[in-house]
Amino acid sequence: MHNFAYHAPASLDAALKLIGEKEDGKIIAGGMTLLPTLKQRLAAPSDLIDLAGLPDLRGVKKEGGHIVIGAMTTHYEVATSDVVKAAIPALAHLASIIGDPAVRHRGTIGGSLANSDPAADYPGAAMGLNATIVTNKRAIAAEDYFLGLFETALERDEIIVSVRFPIPEKAAYQKFRHPASGYAVAGVMVSKTGAQVRVGVTGAGPNAFRARDFEAALEKSFTAEAIKDVKMSPDSLLSDIHCSAEYRAHLVGVLARRAVAQA
Amino acid sequence: MKSKVTLTVNGKERSAEVEPRTLLAELLRDHLGLTGTHVGCDTTQCGCCVVHVDGKAVKSCTMLAVQAAGKQVTTIEGLAKPDGTLHPMQEAFREHHGLQCGFCTPGMVMMAVDIARRRPGADEKTVREELEGNLCRCTGYQGIVEAILSVVNPGAVKDHHHA
């Protein structure tokens, strides 16, 4: 890996000041994607600004009808949080099957969402649970947040502070897990709150998205049967070494039905 | 560009001059001479480099040395007692033939101790799932799983070596 200067600011203001000053600087959260990327020299930032020293960005709390998770909260902390397990068990489950135990001890929800890997789990949760990404500047609805492959609405001088999840009546996450990497070949988070149903899909497209045809059918009848004939178009989905777009389109349907049955 | 990093390793305060890009695994092996921590894949997959940082298993090839400043790090060298008495998990690996060539063993044992902390009473399926970030290319896992089960859930051991 190329060398860089390392900074461990003790406050969000100090971190923002650094990111303002260091034009080629990069923020590091858990580093579970960034450090492998640096090792492969796919990126060469001049400075790394580590958010690990900001305690305000860490932790889980319930605020009214929402679960609020600090950006630097690790996957392990989300998976084992009594607050998350009681309010949105599907989210705790999702966190518990990211990567492997050692990765879950370092990787964070903010890092995952900022990176927007097409095969990461949390983007599917953000879409399927109608989350809001809260930054130092504003609150961004998940729908407006994911813009493309590894591309989000985050501006250069914007840091995710927390993620707000409305507590649904029902939710479930189903994932076709790549057996070697643990990444989602496809993953579907389904949630139901009153008459509203959300179906968030990750792994299948260049970024997480809502499967609106599935949502419409499930709002009429929240059963696996209701979506058995709903087809996902493979047109904008990913084809890669693991499988074709058509295969992923089929998987999304299967996983959506499983998630509805489980919710 | 080098800076001094001070951390606690196996209960002792240690310092080293490192570059920001120096990995925790490199600090341990190259600067502190603790070569029990192995680097297998260097891509966060194989788990040979697992150590504990503030009590939690992490892959030391995917953490910067500077990120470990001020932290408590335990490596495989820190498990046995000073008189050489093995840690119960090390003893279990020996007893159940949980190693062959030994390359993955330090990471396996460190992860096993972490599993025992987090998942007491785990069944065989859980132990196998918990080991998915640690690769062994020669024993085939059976002895490793038996060794861990013998510590976390002795009733679940189906021991093939002591039939």
Structure tokens at B38: 């192995």
Q: Where are the domains of chain B?
A: 3-78, 88-154
The residue among B5, B62, B72, B134 with the most chain A CBs within 10 A of its CB, best to mutate, is B62
Give per-residue pLDDT as tens, B26-59: 999 999 999 999 999 999 999 999 999 999 999 9
- Hey, of A26, A42, A96, A105, which one would you mutate to test binding to chain B, going by the most B CBs within 10 A of its CB? A105
What's the rounded mean pLDDT across residues A105-113? 98
Please give the mean pLDDT across all residues of chain A: 97
CATH assignment of B88-154? 1.10.150.120
- In chain B, which residue's Cα lies nearest the Cα of A30? B63
pLDDT of A167 over the 70 cut: yes
DSSP for chain B, written as a single string = --EEEEEEETTEEEEEEE-TT-BHHHIIIIIS--TTS--SSSSSSS-TTEEEETTEEEEGGGSBGGGGTT-EEE-GGGTS-TT-PPPHHHHHHHHTT--SS-SSHHHHHHHHHHHHHH-TT--HHHHHHHTTT---SSS-SHHHHHHHHHHH-GGG---SS--
Q: To the nearest whole percent, how much of chain A has pLDDT over 90?
A: 98
Taking contacts as CB-CB distances below 8 angstroms, the residues of chain B near A52 are 67
Quick check: helix, strand or coil at residue A5?
Answer: strand
What value does the mean pLDDT take over residues A42-63? 96
CATH architecture of residue range(s) A1-50: 2-Layer Sandwich (3.30)
Second CATH level (architecture) for the domain B3-78: Roll (3.10)
Question: Strands A146-148, A151-152: parallel, antiparallel or unpaired by DSSP?
Answer: antiparallel
Tell me, what DSSP letter sits at residue A153? S
Q: 3-state class of B157 per DSSP?
A: coil
**Burial of B55 per CB tally in 10 Å (0-12, 13-18, 19+):** exposed
Measured between CB atoms, does A4 come within 8 Å of chain B? yes
A146 shares contact with chain B (CB less than 8 Å): no
Report the top-level CATH class of A170-262. Answer: alpha beta
Q: How far from chain centre, in Å, is Cα A158?
A: 17
Strand, helix or coil at A172? strand
Residue B120 near chain A (CB below 8 Å): no
Cβ burial, residue B154 (10 Å; 0-12/13-18/19+): exposed
What does the alpha-carbon distance between residue A234 and residue A204 come to, in Å, rounded to a whole number? 9
- Which of A5, A38, A105 has the CB atom closest to B58's CB atom? A105
B75-123 per-position pLDDT tens digit: 999 999 999 999 999 999 999 999 999 999 999 999 999 999 999 999 9
Delimit the domains of chain A by residue range. Answer: 1-50, 170-262
Whether the Cβ atoms of residue B21 and residue A1 lie closer than 8 Å to each other:
yes
Report the distance separating Cα A11 and Cα A8, nearest Å: 9
